[in-house]
Amino acid sequence: MNVFLKKESNDFFREWIIKEWQHHNTVDPIYQLKIIDPSELDFNENEEYYQIIYDNIIVGLVGIKIFEYSIYLYRFYIDEKYRNKGIGTNALKEIIKLAKKENKDLSLDVFGNNAAKKLYEKLGFKDRYTNMVFKITSDIQYHND
């Protein structure tokens, strides 16, 4: 399968990140975010974004945060019409290669009912903890260590 990642400037992905957030709103009803204007997005120095390219078409994005001992995959989006074709699997394998090359653990968060959880488990990801929420407010705040 002809899938590869191309590093891109973070600003390139402003519109894609809004799509990714909207996708999460459909995946988990607790994850209802107030979608902000793309121009309001700020990026940290340790963030990197990659185009996911399939047959010379940009079909998604993957974002990572690079820390001293680990890499956190926190944005992974495949356009709806390209899902279930193995593209996400191949893109994730490329990120795993990157983590191995850097000799860093790779982690991510996934909602319990997200179909992608099976893909992550198939590729070797293991449950580390469970984050539970008792929803009271209209916006949820969380953090990653």
What's the 3-state SS for the chain? Answer: CCEEEEEECHHHHHHHHHHHHHHHHHHCCCCCCCCCCHHHCCCCCCEEEEEEEECCEEEEEEEEEECCCEEEEEEEEECHHHCCCCHHHHHHHHHHHHHHHHCCEEEECCCCCCCHHHHHHHCCCCCCCCCCCCCCCCCCCCCCC
pLDDT tops 90 at residue 139: no
Does a structural domain hold residue 133? no
Total count of domains within the chain: 1
Does a structural domain hold residue 16? yes
Q: Could you tell me the CATH number of the domain that includes residue 68?
A: 3.40.630.30
Q: Which domain holds residue 78?
A: 3-122
Q: How far is CA 141 from the centre of its chain?
A: 18
- Section 90-95 average pLDDT: 95
Does a structural domain hold residue 50? yes
What would the pLDDT profile of 28-65 be if each residue is shown by its tens digit?
555 555 656 667 778 889 999 999 999 999 999 999 99
Task: Of 43, 49, 42, give the one whose Cα is nearest residue 64.
Answer: 49
Does a structural domain hold residue 132? no
Does a structural domain hold residue 39? yes
Does a structural domain hold residue 141? no
Does a structural domain hold residue 142? no
Does a structural domain hold residue 83? yes
pLDDT tops 80 at residue 20: no
pLDDT score at 144 = 44
